[in-house]
Structure 1
Amino acid sequence: MAPNLPSLLKQEWDVVVVGGGNAGFSAAISAAETLSQRGQKPRVLLVDKCPEAWAGGNSYFTAGAMRCVHNGLPDVLPLVNNVDEQLADKIDLDPYTTEDFLSDMQRVTEGRYDRHLGRTLVEDSNSTIKWLAGHGVRFQLSFNRQAYKIGDRFKFWGGMCLKTEDGGQGLVEDHKRAAGRVGVTVLYDTAAKGILTNCCTGAFEGLEVVNKDSSNGGIITTTVVRAKALILAAGGFEANPRMRAQYLGHGWDLSHVRGTPYNTGEVLEMAIRDLRAKQAGHWSGCHSVAWDADSPADTGNRETSNEYTKSGYPLGITINKRGERFFDEGSDIRNYTYAKFGKAILAQPGGVAFQLWDSQGIPWLRREEYRDEVVRKIHGDTIEELANKLEESEGLEDARRLVATVHEYNEAVLAHRQEHKDLQWDPSVKDGLSTQSSTKALQIAKSNWALPVNQGPFMAIKVCCGVTFTFGGLAIEPETAGVVSSSTGTAIPGVFCCGEMVGGLFYENYPGGSGLTSGATFGRRAGINAAALVKA
C-alpha cells in the first residue's frame, strides 16, 4: 500500500475511485486489470475518507452473502473451500436460474425495480462471482445461514448459497490483497470535497480532496487529483441522521446504524450539486433489519459486526411494547423479508419490539446472532413469568396483553394443525403451517413455520431497527455504469458509479445477498469502461 502523502495526490492518475468498500475495490481492481491487459501501467487511485482502521465501508459489516445465478452444486463447488467429497454427497442445492432471480426481484420490490439494471445484475451475477474468485476472494457454502440440517441432509433454501470466508471482514481483506497485486494505490483519511468538470464539455477533469496526512503530524491539505475517469462508490446516507429524517421520514434519525459511521451521503449530494447527476431509485426506502436494542446507536461494532442482527423471527413470534404482534413473521423465506422488518419495528411504540421463542424454537437460532456473548437474553419458565420480567425492566407496557396474545396465537396454531395434520414443520421451505383455519384466524397471520409457543422455558430478545443502506441514488447506464446527467439525459463523460450510490435496483425490500453482488457487478463494469476511456 502506498504511503498516505499529499504529494502522491498531485501525480497524474488514470482512474480515481471514491470509496473503499466491496464496490469501490471491485471497480479499482477491474480498472487496473483492464489497463494492464492493454499493456498500460495502471495508475489507479482509491481514496476513502475513513482511517485505515475502518477500511471496508459497509461491506466489512456484512455476513458476506452473495446471491448469484448458478446451475446447482456442480457449478459452485469449484468456488468454495469448505466442502469435501463426503460432505458434498449430503447437500441438497437446487439450481437458481436467471428466471428465479428476476422473479425474486419482481416480487420483493413490488415490480418497481429498473428492468435494465436488474437484468444486467442478474445476468452478470455468475460471471462476477467467478471473477472475484479469480482475484482471490475466498468463497464458502453458507451452511450456518442458508442451510438447515434435516436428518442427515443439508438443505439450502432461499435461492442463495455462497458467502465469503470470514464474512465481510474476509471479503475486505481479500479485496485489499487483490488491489495490491494489480497495482491499485489506496489512500485513507482522504475525503472528496468537490468534482471539477470541463466548462465546455462537462467531462470530468479533477477531484478536490481533503487529506489528513497521518505520517506528517496530521497536517490537513486540500488537493485536486487529476485523472481521466472518476468512479463514485462512497455508499449511501444511512449514517447521516439528518438525511435519514429528511428522506426516509419521521423517526428515522433514531434508528441504529448497522455499519460504518462514514457513509454520510455527502458524495451523493456532491454529484447532484457539481455534476447535475440524475437522481433515481427509492429515496424514502432502505434496507433495515431487526437489530439488537443494546447495540451502539451511531455506528456498527467492528468486533461484533453482523452479530447484532436478529433474524430468528420466523422461528418464533415478535411482540411490540403493547404486547401485540404486528407483522407476519412467516410471510416468506427470511432472505426476502429481513431487510424490511426493521422499518416495521421502528414504526412501533418506542421503536422497539421483543422476539419470543419457547424451547422448540430456541435450538434452531443461529449461534452467531444469539450466543450469550453478544446478546442479552430474558428468560422465564412460564410465559407469564417472562411477560412480567419484560414489564418490570424492559419497557413492556402490558404484560397481561402479551400473555393473551401468545395464548390466542397458540389456539390459532393448534386449530390449523387439526385441519392440516399432513403438514410437517420444515424451516427450509415455506411449509404452510399457519395460524389461519376455518375455525380460527388471527388478524395478523403467521403464514409459515407457525409453531405453538407453549413449551417452557421461554426466551425473549429486545430488538430495534438497524439501518443498513439506503435505496435512493444516482441513475446510471446499465451497460457502462456511467452516471447520467439530469440536464442531457446522457452519460457524463468520465464519471461512473457503483454500489449503494446506484439508484433504481431496490424498492422497499431486496433479495438477500444481492447488494454485494450488485456492488461487484457494476463496480467491475465501471472499472472496465473507465479504463476504456483512458485508452481512448
Structure 2
Amino acid sequence: MSPPPSCDILVIGSGNAGFSAALSAAQANPKANVIIIDKCPSAWAGGNSYFTAGAFRTAHNGLNDLLPLVNNASPEKANRIDMPLYSESDFMHDLQRMTNGRTDRALSKILVQDSRSTIGWLAKNGIRFQLSFNRQAYEVDNRIKFWGGLALKTENGGKGLIEDHLRAAKTNGISVYFDTAVTKLLTGPQSEAITGVEVIHRAVNNCNKNSQFPGQKTTIQAKAVILAAGGFEANPQLRAQYLGPGWDAARVRGTPYNTGDLLQIAQRDVSAKTVGNWSGCHSVAWDSDAPAHAGDRGVSNEFTKSGYPLGIMVNRNGERFVDEGSDMRNYTYAMIGRRILQQPSQVAFQVWDARTTPWLRSEEYRASVTRHLTGDTLEELADRCVDAGLTGRETFLRTLSEYNAAVRPGHWDPAVKDGLATQGLAVSKSNWALPIDRAPFLAVKVTAGITFTFGGLAVNPETAAVVSETTGQEVPGLYCVGEMLGGLFHDNYPGGSGLTSGAVFGRRAGRAAAETLASDRAARL
C-alpha cells in the first residue's frame, strides 16, 4: 500500500527501536495517527533487530525479579538456577568498562535506569521474553549458572521479536508501509520545525509480486518525525570511509538496507549534529561461508561463531592473535570481528578438542549451519584447515604444541572467569585454558561480520530530540533512536545493550512526540 499524504507521528524504520517509538506514541496519545515507513520491502521487515538473538540487557534484582516476565522456566527448573542480581551500578560499570569511560554519561544513565521498566512495558505489550538458557547459562554440577549479567532474550530471537512488534503495532492501530524511502526532511518556511518528509514509494505490481512499478516521489506531512533507520553498516563505501581500510570487505550480518542514507539526509537538511564513535562498530566472528552483503533471514543469527572462549583462534598463518579468554563472551564478541578483520585475508580458524566441543551451541555450530573441519589427529586437522585456506600448517601445529604446554592445572568452569590461564606465551589465554589434545578435533573458518555502527546523531537524552549543529538547540519535531543515536557505545559494548537502548529511547521519543502533539493542540484552542 502507498503511505498516506499526512499523519501525526511518522516513524522511519521497522526495527525494534522504530516499533518501540511508534507503540509508545500511540499509547501516549491514542487519538494520534501514528505510522511507520521503511525503504525495505515487507519481506525484510525488522531491520537488524530481526537478525539478533533477541538479547535484552537489564538491571534486575535476581531470578525472582525476572521470572514473572518469562515463559520458559518451570518451578522445577527455576529451583536449579543460580542467577546473581545485576544492579544498576553493575550495568553502568559494564558500560564504562566496555567503552573505556567514553559512553555519554547522561544517555547511559537513562539507559540503565529505564532498562527494567522498559522491558516490563514491552512484556505487557506482548513481547515474549525467555531466560537465555542456550546463550547465557551453563549447566555445571546440576546447577544452571547464568553469567555475564545478561539473562533475557525474546522467544525465537529476533524473528520472534519482530513478529511480536508487528502484532503490537496492529493492536494499537499503527500502520506500516514498506518500499518507501525518505529522500528529504521537510521544514517550515519560517522555522526549522519538521513538517514532514519527501519519499519515493515503489509500488509492488499486483500481477507480479516479484516486480515493482518505478518509484513515485511524494510527500508525507507529519507533526513529528522519529528517525530509526539504522546505521551505515551495509554501505561498503561509508564503512571504508569511516571505519577504515579493509572494512569494505566485512560481511554484513543483517539487513542490506541500513546504508546510512538518513544519517546523511539529517545532516544535510537540518544540520543534525553528529557524535560518538564513527570509526567504531559492533562486529562479531562470523561464518566465512555466509553471504557477503546481507544476512540470511532463514539462518539469521546462527552464522555467529561465539565459541572461541572455549578453544583458541589462529589466523591463516597458524598464529594466535587474541586472548580468547580475556572476559566473558558477551563482553568480547562485539569487538572480536575487528581483530579478525586485521588478520591476513581477514579470516581465522577457531579450534577445539573433544573436551569442549560438547559445550558449543548447536544453533551456531551444527554441521547444517557451518562447515566442519575435523581430524582424529592434530596433523589431520591441520590438513583439513589447509584445504580451507590455512597457509601456515607447520606454524599451526607448533602453535598448538606451545599452547598445550603453556596450560596450567586448575579447575575449569565456563560459567565464571575461572583463572585457568596459560603461562609463558606471547599471547596469553586468561581463562578457560584447556589443552587441545583429545580427539576428535574440530575447527571452523570465520571472518568478520558487522552488525551496526556506533557513530550517530546527538540528542537530548531526556526525549531523544535531535540537536542542531548550527544552533545547538533541538530541531522541533525531530527525534532519533536505535542505531542512529550516537554517543552510547565506543569500540565495544556489553552484549544485549543495543536492543535495550532501542526500546528505552524509542519509548521516550514516542512519548515526547505525543506530548508535543498535545501541547500544539492545546495552544491552538
Per-residue CA deviations over 1:461-508 (Å, capped at 9, x if unaligned) read: 000000000000001111000001101112110000100000100000
Aligned equivalent of 1:16, options 10, 22, 25: 10
- The one-letter amino acid paired with 1:446 is K
Q: Over the residues paired in the alignment, what is the CA RMSD in angstroms? A: 0.9
Determine if contact 1:282/1:504 at 8 Å carries over to the other structure.
yes
Partner of 1:403: 397
Residues 319 and 354 in structure 1, CA contact (< 8 A), matched pair in contact too: yes
Within 5 Å, give how 1:442-461 maps onto structure 2: 442-461=425-444
The runs of 5 or more residues in structure 2 that have no matched partner are 520-525
Following superposition, which runs of at least 4 residues in structure 1 exceed 2 angstroms of deviation? 215-220
Which digits, 9 at most, give the CA deviation of each residue in 1:102-148, with x for residues without a partner? 00001111111101000110000000100000100000000000000
Q: Which of 300, 306, 319 pairs up with 1:305?
A: 300
Alpha-carbon distance in 2 for matches of 1:216, 1:45:
23
Distance 2:114 2:147 in 1: 22
Aligned residue for 1:214, secondary structure, equals coil
Q: In structure 1, which of residues 238, 254, 257 is the aligned counterpart of residue 249 of structure 2?
A: 254
- Say whether the 8 Å CA contact 1:42–1:184 is kept in structure 2: no
Corresponding position of 1:236 = 231
Task: Encode CA deviations 1:344-380: one digit per residue, 9 max, x unaligned.
Answer: 0000000000000011111110000001110100101
In structure 1, the residue matched to 2:56 is 66
Mapped to 1, the partners of 2:394 and 2:171 lie a distance apart of 62
Return the match for 1:138 from 108, 125, 128.
128
Residue equivalent to 1:481:
464
Does the 8 A contact of 1:64 with 1:171 survive in 2? yes
2:420 aligned with 1:433:
yes
2:201 maps to which residue?
A: 211
- Could you say which residue in structure 1 is the equivalent of 2:518? 535
- Counterpart check, 1:226 vs 2:221: yes
**Structure 1 contact 138–174 (Cα < 8 Å) conserved:** yes
Separation (CA, whole Å) in 2 of partners of 1:355 and 1:216: 48
AA aligned opposite 2:398:
A
Q: Is the 8 A contact 1:42 1:183 kept in 2?
A: no
In the alignment, does 2:313 pair up with 1:318?
A: yes
How does the TM-score come out when normalised to structure 1? 0.95
Number of corresponding residues? 514
Q: How far apart are 1:201 and its partner, in Å? A: 1.9
- SS of the equivalent of 1:213 reads coil
1:20-419 correspondence to structure 2 within 5 Å:
20-36=14-30, 41-214=31-204, 218-219=212-213, 220-391=215-386, 393-413=387-407, 416-417=408-409
Task: Please give the alpha-carbon distance, in whole angstroms, between the structure 2 residues aligned to 1:213 and 1:463.
Answer: 39
1:433–1:449 contact (8 Å) kept in structure 2: yes
CA deviation profile, 1:138-194 (whole Å, cap 9, x unmatched): 000000000000111100000010000000000000000000111111100111110
Amino acid at match of 1:68: T
Q: What is the deviation of 1:200?
A: 2.6
Q: Secondary structure at the match of 1:104?
A: helix
In 2, Cα distance between equivalents of 1:340 and 1:54: 26
> How far, CA to CA, are the matches of 1:215 and 1:252 in structure 2?
37
Opposite residue 505 of structure 2, the aligned amino acid is F
3-state SS of 2:242 partner: helix
Name the SS of the counterpart of 2:64 in structure 1.
Answer: helix
The DSSP-based 3-state class of the residue aligned with 1:81 is coil
Aligned to 1:506: 489
The answer (yes or no) to whether the contact 1:288–1:339 under 8 Å persists in 2 is yes
Q: 1:196 is paired with a residue of what secondary structure?
A: strand
Counterparts in 2 of 1:215 and 1:179: CA distance versus 1, 3 Å: farther
The one-letter amino acid of 1:48's match is: D
1:388 Cα deviation from its structure 2 partner: 2.0
Q: CA deviation at 1:216?
A: 5.9
Report the Cα offset of residue 396 of structure 1: 1.0
- Find the aligned partners of 2:183 and 2:35 in 1 and give their Cα distance: 16
1:9 partner SS: coil
The share of aligned pairs that are identical, in percent, is 59
Deviations 1:26-80 (A, max 9, x none): 00111111111xxxx2201100011101100000000000000000011100000
Q: CA separation in 1, counterparts of 2:476 and 2:205?
A: 35
SS in 2 for 1:494: strand
Shift of 1:215: 5.6
CA distance in 1, matches of 2:182, 2:287: 33
Whole-angstrom CA distance in 1 between matches of 2:366 and 2:318: 25
Measure, in 1, the Cα distance between the counterparts of 2:206 and 2:21. Answer: 30
Corresponding residue SS for 2:459: coil
